[in-house]
C-alpha cells in the first residue's frame, strides 16, 4: 500500500493529502532548525541524567513517608541541573500546573507582601489563586496584595509603569512566558531576561518567578539562564514528554524551593517526605523524550499555521513567525468551522476517535466551549488537543502531538473535516 492509500484508509482524500503535503514539504528549513534545538536539548537532558548517575534503582518507587527516595531525590537533582538552578521540587503530589504555581506563590509570599505581574493578566486559573476573582484561600485572603502592569499596545513592556509599580512591599514578580489563551505575543527567553534585568536593577532582592508552562525545550535556554529565581510548570505538558501521568515542578534558588517544599508537605518535613510510588520511571523517561516531543508539537503547530493561512484563516503566531511556545491559535470566524476543526482533531486521536466533541457550558466561561482531546493521559495538552469558546471570533487553540507524524495527520484530518462540510476550498 502506498502512503496516499494509507491516508485514504484513514479518511484523508487525495485532494487534502496533496494540498497538505505541498505545504509540509515547503517547511523543511524550519523543521531543521527545530531539530537542531531538540538535538541540543536532548544532550542537555542526557548529560544531566548521566552527571547524576541515574540508575536502575531510581526507577523504583517508595511508599509511606518516602524517606530516602533515591529516585525522587536524583530526579530533582537532574531537573535542577538542566535548569541550572540550585534546587528543584518535582513531585506527583503537585497535581497540575495551577497547583505548582499556587504552591510557589503561596510559599514564597507572606502577609503584607505584594505580588506584581508586569506582563498583564495571568492565566485564567491564577485569578482565583491571587484573588483577582475572590476565592476561598486566595493570596488576597492571606493579606497578600496584587498589582498588574499590562503590556503596551504593541506587546512591549511598559517600563515606566513597571518602575512605578515596584514598591517596598513588592516581594515577588510573576512573569508568564506563554501567551496561554490570550492574544498577546509569547515572550522569548531573551525578552524575559531583559525584563528581569530591569526589575532587579530597581530592586535586587525581589523574587522573579516565571510560569514556564508550554515553554520548556522550545528554545535552548530557559528563563533560569537569564536571571529568573524560579521556574514553574506542569508535567502533563512539555517536560513530562507525554508519559508523566500527573505532576508539576518548581526549579530555582534553594530558599525558594525550600519554601515550596515546606508548604507542599509540612514545616519541618519539606523535601524529606513524599513517596514517589511507582511513577518515577515515567517521569524519567518522559523527561528523556521531552525535547523530541516538544519538537514534534512545534512542527505540528507550524504546519497548522501554514495550512490554515492558505485556507484563508488568520493564525497566531502566523506561518512564518519564530516560536516561543507550542500553542497555535486559528481564527475560524464561524461556529461551524471551529466545530469542524475540533471534530477533525478528535477523529484523528488514538483514544476516543469514535466520539464527537460537542460544545458545552464549561464553568468559568461566558459561552459554550468545544474541546477535542483523545489523549492517553486525561487532559494532557502535550498530546494533540484543541479547544475554543463558541463566540466571536471563533478561535481554536491547539497544541501538542507526541509524534510529528500524528500532529501532521491531525491537522490533515481537520482540514478534511472542513472540506467535507464545504467550509473551505482547497486551492494550490
Ligand X SMILES: *Cc1c(COP(=O)(O)O)cnc(C)c1O
Q: Footprint of ligand X on this chain (CB under 6 A)? A: 96-98, 101, 123, 125, 176, 178, 180, 211, 213-214, 234
Cell 508539576 belongs to 248
Phi-psi region of 333 (alpha: psi -120 to 50; beta: other; left: phi over 0): left
What grid cell was written down for 146?
Answer: 496584587
| Nearer to ligand X (CB atom), residue 212 or residue 346 | 212
Cα separation, 218 vs 188, in Å, equals 10
Find the shortest distance in angstroms from Cβ 284 to ligand X: 20
At 142, give phi and psi (nearest 5°). Answer: -90, 10
Find the shortest distance in angstroms from Cβ 283 to ligand X: 16
Sign of CA dihedral 191, 192, 197, 200: positive
| Nearer to ligand X (CB atom), residue 125 or residue 285 | 125
| Nearer to ligand X (CB atom), residue 106 or residue 424 | 106
What grid cell was written down for 231?
Answer: 521556574
Find the shortest distance in angstroms from Cβ 234 to ligand X: 4
Find the shortest distance in angstroms from Cβ 308 to ligand X: 21
| Nearer to ligand X (CB atom), residue 7 or residue 83 | 83
- Name the DSSP letter for residue 43: H
Find the shortest distance in angstroms from Cβ 87 to ligand X: 22
Find the shortest distance in angstroms from Cβ 186 to ligand X: 9
| Nearer to ligand X (CB atom), residue 62 or residue 178 | 178
Q: Is 223 in contact with 210 (CB distance < 8 Å)?
A: yes
Sign of CA dihedral 347, 374, 97, 236: negative
**Would you call 312 exposed, middle or buried from its count of C-beta atoms within 10 A (0-12, 13-18, 19+)?**
exposed
Find the shortest distance in angstroms from Cβ 297 to ligand X: 13
Find the shortest distance in angstroms from Cβ 180 to ligand X: 4
Q: Which helix (H) or strand (E) holds 170?
A: strand 170-176
What grid cell was written down for 270?
Answer: 519539606
Find the shortest distance in angstroms from Cβ 364 to ligand X: 12
| Nearer to ligand X (CB atom), residue 93 or residue 178 | 178
Torsion angle of alpha carbons 169, 170, 171, 176, nearest 10°?
160
What grid cell was written down for 421?
Answer: 462540510
Find the shortest distance in angstroms from Cβ 209 to ligand X: 12
| Nearer to ligand X (CB atom), residue 97 or residue 319 | 97
Which residue is at the shortest CB distance from ligand X?
A: 97
| Nearer to ligand X (CB atom), residue 178 or residue 188 | 178
| Nearer to ligand X (CB atom), residue 184 or residue 391 | 184
What SS3 state is found at 360?
Answer: strand
Cα separation, 165 vs 211, in Å, equals 20
Cα separation, 244 vs 341, in Å, equals 27
| Nearer to ligand X (CB atom), residue 397 or residue 404 | 397
Cα separation, 203 vs 245, in Å, equals 39
Using alpha carbons, list the distances in angstroms from residue 75 to 46, 209, 249, 260, 325.
12, 21, 11, 17, 24
Amino acid at each position: 500500500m502506498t502512503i496516499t492509500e494509507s491516508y485514504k484508509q484513514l479518511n484523508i482524500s487525495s485532494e487534502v493529502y496533496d494540498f497538505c503535503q505541498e505545504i509540509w514539504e515547503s517547511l523543511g528549513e524550519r523543521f531543521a532548525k527545530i531539530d537542531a534545538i531538540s538535538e541540543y536539548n536532548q544532550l542537555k537532558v542526557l548529560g544531566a541524567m548521566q552527571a547524576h548517575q541515574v540508575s536502575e534503582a531510581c526507577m523504583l518507587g517508595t511508599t509511606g513517608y518516602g524517606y530516602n527516595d533515591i529516585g525522587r531525590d536524583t530526579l530533582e537533582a537532574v531537573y535542577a541541573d538542566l535548569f541550572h538552578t540550585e534546587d528543584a521540587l518535582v513531585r506527583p503530589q503537585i497535581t497540575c500546573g495551577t497547583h505548582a504555581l499556587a504552591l510557589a506563590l503561596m510559599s514564597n509570599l507572606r502577609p503584607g507582601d505584594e505580588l506584581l505581574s508586569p506582563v498583564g493578566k495571568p492565566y485564567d486559573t491564577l485569578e482565583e489563586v491571587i484573588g483577582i476573582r475572590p476565592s476561598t484561600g486566595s493570596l488576597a485572603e492571606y493579606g497578600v496584595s496584587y498589582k498588574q502592569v499590562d503590556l503596551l499596545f504593541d506587546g512591549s513592556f511598559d517600563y515606566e509603569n513597571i518602575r512605578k509599580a515596584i514598591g517596598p512591599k513588592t516581594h515577588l514578580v510573576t512573569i508568564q512566558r506563554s501567551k496561554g489563551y490570550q492574544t498577546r505575543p509569547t515572550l522569548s527567553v531573551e525578552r524575559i531576561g531583559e525584563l528581569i534585568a530591569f526589575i532587579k536593577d530597581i530592586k535586587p532582592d525581589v523574587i522573579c518567578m516565571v510560569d514556564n508552562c508550554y515553554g520548556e525545550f522550545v528554545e535552548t535556554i530557559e528563563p533560569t539562564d537569564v536571571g529568573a529565581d524560579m521556574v514553574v510548570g506542569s508535567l502533563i505538558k512539555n517536560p513530562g514528554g507525554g508519559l508523566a501521568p500527573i505532576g508539576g515542578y518548581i526549579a530555582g534558588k534553594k530558599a525558594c524551593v525550600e519554601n515550596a517544599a515546606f508548604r507542599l508537605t509540612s514545616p519541618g518535613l519539606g523535601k524529606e517526605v513524599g513517596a514517589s510510588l511507582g511513577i518515577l520511571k515515567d517521569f524519567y523517561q518522559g523527561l528523556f523524550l521531552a525535547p523530541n516531543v516538544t519538537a514534534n508539537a512545534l512542527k505540528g503547530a507550524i504546519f497548522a499555521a501554514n495550512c490554515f493561512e492558505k485556507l484563508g484563516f488568520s493564525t497566531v503566531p502566523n506561518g512564518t513567525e519564530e516560536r516561543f511556545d507550542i500553542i497555535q491559535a486559528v481564527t475560524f470566524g464561524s461556529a461551524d468551522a471551529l466545530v469542524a476543526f475540533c471534530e477533525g482533531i478528535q477523529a484523528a486521536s488514538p483514544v476516543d476517535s469514535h466520539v464527537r466533541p460537542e460544545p458545552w457550558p464549561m464553568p468559568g466561561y461566558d459561552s459554550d466551549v468545544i474541546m477535542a482531546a483523545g489523549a492517553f493521559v486525561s487532559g494532557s495538552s502535550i498530546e494533540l488537543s484543541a479547544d475554543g469558546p463558541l463566540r466571536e471570533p471563533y478561535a481554536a487553540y491547539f497544541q501538542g502531538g507526541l509524534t510529528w507524524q500524528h500532529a501532521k495527520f491531525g491537522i490533515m484530518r481537520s482540514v478534511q473535516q472542513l472540506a467535507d462540510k464545504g467550509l473551505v476550498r482547497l486551492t494550490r
